[in-house]
Amino acid sequence: MSDEIIEIEEEEYTSQLTYPTVKRIGTLLKPYWKWAIGFFIAIALVSWIDAYFTYLNKQFIDQGISLKDTVRLMYLARIYGSLILVQAVFVFTFIYLAGVLGERIQYDLRKYLFNHLQNLSLAFYAQNAVGRLMARVTSDTGRVADLVTWGIVDTTWAVMNILTSAIFMAMINWKLALIVVAALPIMIVIAAEFRKRILIEFRKSRRMNSKITGAFNENIQGVRVVKALNREDQNTREFQELTTAMYNASYRAAWLSALFLPTVQIISAIILGLIVGYSGVQIPKGLITIGGINAFVSYLSFMMWPIQDLARVYAEMQHSIASAERIFKLLDTKPDIHNHPQASPAPTLLGDIEFEHVDFYYDERTPVLQDFNLQVKAGETIALVGPTGGGKTTIVNLLCRFYEPTKGVIRINGRDYTEYTLESIHSKIGVVLQTPHLFSGSVRENIRYGRLDASDKEIEQAAKIAGAHDFIITLEKGYEQNVGEGGNLLSVGQKQLISLARAVLANPELFIMDEATSSVDTLTEALIQKGMEALLQGRTSFIVAHRLSTIRRADRILFIEKGKLVEQGTHPELLRQRGHYYRLYTQQFRHEMEERLTI
């Protein structure tokens, strides 16, 4: 099984993962440590001023109101007003800094994820749904940003309130303060237990959310197939199962969060009762004042309110931590195909190519190629034909180094191609696929994708060579015509011609065409063949084709079946042999003739 599979199984969801995840989120703040320090200083000062306001209230009662000292009252009022202005500045500062830090973290995570996804090999994308990856890049990064922005704000605010409240309570009456401090471990244990259970449920919820996103993505993209096969009811039932599972996990998390709050309130009420009872004994002895009791009760609220609010904070933080775990698991995914330590750039791919005793497995049980051997001379055009699933596309995927042989070696210019860097190999290979992909934008931008520094004149010249120019100029905006998402505003044949023009512009040293004419009409096929003739000149080429009319002029035709080379030769040679190729060719020729007679 590939190391790149990122699904997190339920048994992996243990609370032991939380601390490393939070620590790793903290490392994301390292580039912004000055802002982070400023944030913590600002929020600490705001918390201290809040606590001092309560201490001023004690002085208002004990030194001003009780003694009817108006001078003292005015003095305390001026201090109070000044602190309000100072606090407002620091409140703005910490909220601003928290918001900026959250946005920077989200920006960095999306950048890291996008760059990392570019480097993962095809095996990864074959094993992971697009919708789930989209959830990582969009939804999960947003939740991690929320954790940094408001999770840290709420958590830091809670810790600061508890510390400042404890300090000021000790200043008023250290014995009463001990009663409160003694109850804190009980609160912490209860909070930790609830946190663990809530985390498990939210992780389940996030996993189901990714599956739901994937289901949405697949159903929207495949809506034509869904309707054509009348799958609406079945898909609805399957989607209902996913949403029900997510609802159940979210319900359990909400139930635990709701239970946590009254539990904390009951403990707070018990502590408050002890304080009031003990204060009743202390007042006659002059050990505590009315203002002191009032301040003490207020500090108790300041200390217990953050703990009560942790039910909400935990819910949000566990969402974010679960999202962060999924992001980090994706970022930790290692590509199956990567540059070897001593790899060097390939100077050229124009030399001979050799497959030597190559075996390949997509999984451990099913061989695709077995002891495959092939030697290709520089500049030779090789056609690969044979039944579906025989290994034709696998051969070109191995040649492009989208995958690497399970056993054996592939040599280019006499060297094992793993000694070359991936970038140098890919930059010298041009590929035209059966289902061409165009990017949102204009026709010109899609052709320029083959070589980003190409001029408009070079783009139009490439389109002429590929046979795409004539249809492009008939479009309403010509080369500036928008192709739509995935090129859905163009026909399959038009997309294929643009894809071929893109390959022409790239001017590759090694050219691969994988079933490029299987989905186009005869006229478009003729245009593609004409473009291919210009592109194939002087370079080694591999053509995978079901339509045998496209490969008659190949220097050598290989018949691949069950991962083995069964026959090889030129078109006339293979027809004279009357073997596998002959039967395939005559069967296809007969089918085409029947279609023409029917028409």
Instruction: Tell me the C-alpha distance between 46 and 95, whole Å.
Output: 11
Q: Do both 98 and 198 map to the same domain? A: yes
What's the burial of 7, exposed, middle or buried (CB within 10 Å: 0-12/13-18/19+)?
A: middle
Name 543's bridge partners: 383, 513
Instruction: Tell me the C-alpha distance between 320 and 526, whole Å.
Output: 55
Tell me which residue range forms the domain holding 418: 342-428+510-524+540-599
- Return the pLDDT at 409: 94
Is residue 38 a part of any domain in this protein?
yes
Q: Do both 175 and 225 map to the same domain? A: yes
Is residue 336 a part of any domain in this protein?
no
Which of 465, 467, 470 has its CA nearest to residue 535? 465
Q: Do both 402 and 495 map to the same domain? A: no
Token pair belonging to 328: 């980090």
Instruction: Tell me the C-alpha distance between 267 and 574, whole Å.
Output: 88
CATH code: domain of residue 130: 1.20.1560.10
Report field, pTM of the whole predicted structure over 0.85 = no
User: What residue type is 547 in one-letter code?
Assistant: R
Is residue 533 a part of any domain in this protein?
no
Is residue 5 a part of any domain in this protein?
no
pLDDT per residue of the chain (599 residues) written in tens, 0 to 9? 344 434 433 334 444 446 788 788 888 888 888 888 998 899 889 988 888 888 887 777 777 676 677 777 788 788 888 889 998 999 999 889 988 888 888 898 888 888 888 888 777 777 777 777 887 888 888 888 877 777 777 778 888 888 888 888 888 777 777 877 777 777 777 777 777 777 777 777 777 877 787 777 777 777 777 766 677 788 788 788 888 888 888 888 778 777 777 777 777 777 777 777 776 666 666 666 677 777 777 777 777 777 666 656 766 677 778 788 888 888 888 888 888 888 888 888 888 899 999 999 887 777 889 889 999 998 888 989 888 888 888 898 899 888 889 899 999 988 999 999 988 888 888 888 777 788 888 999 999 988 888 999 999 998 888 888 888 999 989 999 999 888 888 888 888 888 888 888 888 888 888 775 655 566 666 766 766 776 677 788 898 876 666 677 788 999 998 888 899 998 888 888 988 888 888 876 665 555 544 54
- Return the pLDDT at 208: 80
Q: Do both 348 and 325 map to the same domain? A: no
DSSP structure string for 328-373? HHHHTPPPSS---TT-B--S-S-S-EEEEEEEEESSSS-EEEEEEE
Is residue 499 a part of any domain in this protein?
yes
Instruction: Tell me the C-alpha distance between 437 and 191, whole Å.
Output: 52
Is residue 216 a part of any domain in this protein?
yes
Instruction: Tell me the C-alpha distance between 566 and 577, whole Å.
Output: 12
Token pair belonging to 452: 């980003």
Are 358 and 335 contacting, i.e. CB atoms less than 8 angstroms apart? no
Q: Do both 487 and 595 map to the same domain? A: no
Q: Do both 40 and 112 map to the same domain? A: yes
Question: What's the structural domain count of the chain?
Answer: 3
CATH code: domain of residue 562: 3.40.50.300
Is residue 465 a part of any domain in this protein?
yes
Instruction: Tell me the C-alpha distance between 132 and 144, whole Å.
Output: 16
Q: Do both 191 and 234 map to the same domain? A: yes
Is residue 472 a part of any domain in this protein?
yes
Token pair belonging to 427: 């930059």
Task: Write the CB contacts of 505 (distance below 8 Å, at least 6 apart in sequence).
Answer: 447, 448, 450, 451, 454, 458, 459, 462
Q: Do both 28 and 113 map to the same domain? A: yes
Q: Do both 191 and 327 map to the same domain? A: yes
Q: Do both 274 and 417 map to the same domain? A: no
β 407-412/353-361 pair status: antiparallel
Q: Do both 397 and 258 map to the same domain? A: no
